[in-house]
Amino acid sequence: MTGKRRTRDPDVWTSLASAWPDLKCEREVARDIRSIADRVILRAGESLNHSVPYHPVVQKDIGLDRYRAICLCFLLFARDSFDALTRLLAARLPVQAKALTRALFEANIELIYISAKPADRALKFATFLPAAEKRYQDAVGRFAPHLVDPKRKEKVDAEYEPVRGLHGDAKGQPRRTWCGMTFEQLCKHAEKIAQGWGSLYPLLWVGHSGYVHASPLAVLQYDPGNPKEMRTKAADDPVVASGDLLAGSYLLFAVTWITDKAFSLGFDKKLSDWRHSVERLAADLGNTCGERLVDG
C-alpha cells in the first residue's frame, strides 16, 4: 500500500442514476459503504506499512499480521468487484453483474470462515497459492503440453514442494481447495460462525450459477426478436438492479466490517448504521418481489 487514497470516477454514480433513476436510496447506501471501504483500506494499509515488510504468502510464522494482510487482500478484491458490479449496472448489464455478486458472496464466506481461527486459517489460505498454480500447471501439461514453459514449470514445482504436506493429497497432488471442502460445505461452516450468511448459499451461489456460465438462464435473457436493442429482458427492471446493488453493498459491508475489526480501526459504528439501512431496503425489496410473484 502506498498510503494514497484511490480516486474514483464520479461518472459511475451519475451513470447509475441515469440508468436506474428509481434507485436513489440504494445508490446512496452503496456509495457510502464504498466510501467507508476506501477509508478502511487506507488506514489498514498504513497500519501494515508501519509494522513489517509483508507479503501474505511468506512461509514464516507471523501470526495475526498475516491474517490482517489477508483481510486487506479480501477487501481490495471486494472493493474492485463492487466497482465492476456498479459499472455493469450503470451500463444496464444486470445479467453480467450477477457474476460479480456471486464473487462478492464467495469472498464474504471465505473470510468469515478464516476469521474464526485467524492465524491458522490465514496461513493455510495464503500458502495455497503455490498449490493452485501447480494444479493449473499440471492441467496445461495434460491438455496442452506444447504450451508448457520448462523454466516456469521448474519454478512452480519448486514453490509447491514446501507446501506439499499441507496442501497435497495422499499421492502428493495439490488438493482442489485450500480448506479441503466444497463451497457448499464451507457455507455450512460459515453459517455456524455468523448466522444468516451461509444460508444465502442457495440464493447467491446456486441461484447465480446460471448467470456465471453461458446457461439458458443467462443466454435466453436476450430477445432474439429485437437484436438491435442488444439488451436483456431484465435491462429495464429496477427490481433486478436493486437486488444486485443491495446484495453487493451488503457483501462489501461484511468484508469491510471484518477488516475493520481485524485492524481495530473504529469504523464499526458507521458500518452498523449502514447495515440497518441495507437490511431495511433489502426487506422492502423482498416485499416487492413477493408482490410481483403474487400478481404474476
Euclidean distance between the first and the last CA atom of the chain, given in angstroms as a whole number: 51
In a domain, 169, yes or no: no
Residue 1 lies in a domain: no
Band of pLDDT at residue 290, cut at 50, 70 and 90: very low
3-class secondary structure, 6: coil
CA 207, 213, 219, 221 torsion-angle sign? positive
**136 located within any domain:** no
| pLDDT, tens digit, 9 for 90 and up, residues 10-53 | 688 999 998 888 888 888 888 988 999 999 999 998 887 766 55
Residue 282 to residue 285: CA distance in whole angstroms: 5
Contact 135, 176 (CB under 8 A): yes
Task: Please indicate, yes or no, if residue 5 is contained in any of the structural domains.
Answer: no
Q: Which range marks the domain in which residue 75 is found? A: 11-128+177-295
Please list the residues that pair with 222 across neighbouring strands: 232
pLDDT tens sequence across 66-89: 899 899 999 999 999 999 999 999
Residue 166 lies in a domain: no
* C-alpha span between 37 and 48 (Å, rounded): 16
Q: List pLDDT tens digits, range 227-278.
A: 666 677 777 788 788 888 988 998 999 999 999 999 988 876 767 776 676 6
- Domain tally, the chain: 1
What pLDDT, on the 0 to 100 scale, is given for residue 287?
A: 56
In three-state secondary structure terms, 228 is coil
Give domain status of residue 162, yes or no. no
CA distance linking residue 39 with residue 259, whole number of Å:
11
- Grid cell, residue 95, equals 445479467
Give CA–CA dist 12/31, Å, rounded. Answer: 10
289 lies in some domain: yes
Q: Is residue 190 in a domain? A: yes
Beta-carbon contacts of residue 235 (< 8 Å; ≥ 6 apart): 92, 93, 94
